[in-house]
Amino acid sequence: MNTRLIAARVLSRVLQDGQSLTAALDHAFLSIESGKDRAFIQALCYGVCRQFHRLDFVLSQLLDKPLKDADVKALALVGLYQLNFMRVKPHAAVSETVLAVRKKPWAKSLINALLRTYLREQEGLEHKADAFQSAALSHPDWLIKHLEQDWPEQALTLLQENNLQPPMVLRVNLAKTSRENYLQRLIGQEIAAEAVSFCPSAITLDKPVPVEVLPGFADGLVSVQDTAAQLAAGLLDVQPGQRVLDVCAAPGGKTAHILESQAQLKELVAVDIDESRMQRVSENLQRLNLQAKLTVGDAAKPEDWWDGTRFERILLDAPCSALGVIRRHPDIKLLRRAEDIGPLQALQKSILQAVWPLLAPGGILLYATCSILKQENERQIQAFLAEHGDAVELPITADWGVAGVSGRQILTGESAMDGFYYARLSKASSGAKL
């Protein structure tokens, strides 16, 4: 088994077939038992995706014409990534990458020549990459442009943060234990961590660890969830006896957190259009010993699944570009296109319009995305408020994020968080004038 060949095939599925990196890796790992091999393959794949635009530029400088063979191109990128970004000895990186070609003699000599030429001319090639914006920042041009338009002062920092590895953050189940007690258990396992000051359930680990070594993970004491996502439950402010709707709920982290935060709900209904992803919600709730009504359905067509009884709280974790979580899913830079944003914006609007009638008067709808684009966030909410006279925005006063025209935006990397957006909307009581 050649781990570099496996990594190249995974990357080819992403680059050539448009498959997500998570799905491609899951498929590859079905036949790999070694944890060490899995970790190395994952490091190669995530690294190449993270630095793709730089690596692709350098590769173009080494070639007389583009490589048509997707697997060979992916293998060349794997080789370049090792030589520039990993602590792999150059001779080992070259020889093992060449060996991975196997049944394509022409490609063996090509890969060998490319990598050895790169080693000889590395300084000049990297200098050229630094002078080419997309390569220097390792992002597609359209995305650089969008960020510069929306966040002119923060754009460079955002782009740099996207290329860093994110921290591993835990959500302590406060219904079962205190954060202080769990921190002590981590210390007992020699796992370095610290509490997040503005989020009572969040703990950031100094270094990622397998979930299997987390004390009490199997018993539901803790889950893995970024701090930004953990803020949703507090903003929703669920109260005893309320009915809660979680729209676009998969994979269920926020669903579980809501249930952990308030054990006396009348009911929580979680809806998602993807049956396989809804299975993950079920598995997460089972581990945590939590109960919810899980419904596979289209959020934009509640007439197909709604029972007619309104909800006091609605969480709409809207489908979005996911540009705030690029550091966790670097393949987004490769798979997302500028032309995707408009249809996503239209889908968000249709779901907002569809679920608003399901909110009881005096209730709260929390709109959330993991995007940093204003057109998916504050502009979306502004347009909704303009069209709905019974909707009023509730201010979010917090020590995190940036207050926008509407809602509050977390920019990627702030307090080590993912990029996230929240807006709280309330429905006026019957007869009330806004």
Active site positions, annotated: 370
CB burial of 393-410 (b: ≥16 within 10 Å; e: otherwise) equals: beebeeebbeebebbbbb
Q: Which residues have a Cβ under 8 Å from the Cβ of 61 and sit 6 or more positions away? A: 125, 128
Q: Which residues have a Cβ under 8 Å from the Cβ of 212 and sit 6 or more positions away? A: none
Give pairs for 14-18: CB < 8 Å, separation 24+.
14/45, 14/49, 14/331, 14/334, 14/335, 15/70, 15/73, 15/74, 15/334, 16/70, 18/335
Q: Measure Cα distances from 249 to 170, 269, 275, 368 in Å.
A: 19, 9, 11, 11
* Both tokens assigned to 277: 């992803």
Tally Cβ neighbours within 10 Å of residue 109.
Answer: 12
CA atoms of 278 and 260, how far apart (whole Å): 19
Q: Which strands, in side-by-side order, build the sheet including 222-224? A: 193-195, 202-205, 169-172, 222-224
> Could you tell me if residue 102 is left (phi over 0), alpha (psi between -120 and 50 degrees) or otherwise beta?
left
Q: CA geometry: angle at 394 spanning 306 and 324, to 5°? A: 80
